[in-house]
Chain A
Amino acid sequence: NAGVTQTPKFQVLKTGQSMTLQCTQDMNHNYMYWYRQDPGMGLKLIYYSVGAGITDKGEVPNGYNVSRSTTEDFPLRLELAAPSQTSVYFCASSTPTGRRTEAFFGQGTRLTVV
């Protein structure tokens, strides 16, 4: 069972470049999340989705876009990368089965913007 898979694991971008961070889950979870984690810091929610076709902003959405066309995939788009977006990005998924909500994380994408 693969769980939550993120690609790429590492990426270096030049300022102004664009890229998409991929996230896919095979657990048929409704909820998916994107977080960023700056060095020595906690997790900040960028965007989340409660199901295909539904997305909403988190704490730090500026500079990012998301889409959720399928249950499995939740890509994160950086349109004009900036050095301030250098961080580790984590995708997670969860499903509220009855009252039980447990989130599972991918291994992360380490992004450097130079």
Chain B
Amino acid sequence: GQQLNQSPQSMFIQEGEDVSMNCTSSSIFNTWLWYKQDPGEGPVLLIALYKAGELTSNGRLTAQFGITRKDSFLNISASIPSDVGIYFCAGQLQGAQKLVFGQGTRLTINP
């Protein structure tokens, strides 16, 4: 099946640092979504992107829909302890119906 390559798989950072993660594919996507999963909970939608080049913010989070439509990026500025969790990207392939998920980036923050 179609795979999204999400990287890095894990990050260990200090509180206050900025975070960057990305998802890439060899195929073209119509939609990119970014989710966060807290321990013991289901994933929650953070940001949705629908146009190539689109840049959208949600508080300290900023995500971009890559110009080639084959990638997306999520940045978190000035990380705080509650940012800990697993971040997933998801995309809807051009011409397809179901969503495809990346493998997740596990974020750990040292106070």
Binding site for B on A (CB under 8 A): 4, 31, 33, 35, 40-43, 45, 48, 50, 58-59, 90, 94, 96, 99-108
Residue pairs across A and B with Cβ atoms less than 8 A apart, 9 shown, are A41-B103, A41-B104, A43-B43, A45-B98, A90-B43, A99-B31, A102-B48, A105-B43, A108-B41
Binding site secondary structure of chain B: strand
> Does B50 contact A42, Cβ atoms closer than 8 Å?
no
Chain B: interface residue total (CB-CB under 8 A): 24
Residue in B44, B98, B102, B104 whose beta carbon sits within 8 Å of that of A31 in the complex: B98
- A-B contact number at CB 8 A: 60
In the complex where A99-B30, A100-B31 touch, is A59 in contact with B44 (Cβ < 8 A)?
A: no
Q: What is the CB-to-nearest-CB distance from B63 to chain A, in angstroms, rounded to a whole number? A: 13
Residue in B35, B48, B104 whose beta carbon sits within 8 Å of that of A100 in the complex: B48
Q: B9 — nearest CB in chain A belongs to which residue?
A: A42
> Does B50 contact A106, Cβ atoms closer than 8 Å?
no
B48 cross-chain contacts in A, Cβ below 8 A: 100, 102
Q: A100 — nearest CB in chain B belongs to which residue?
A: B50
B99 cross-chain contacts in A, Cβ below 8 A: 33, 94, 101, 103
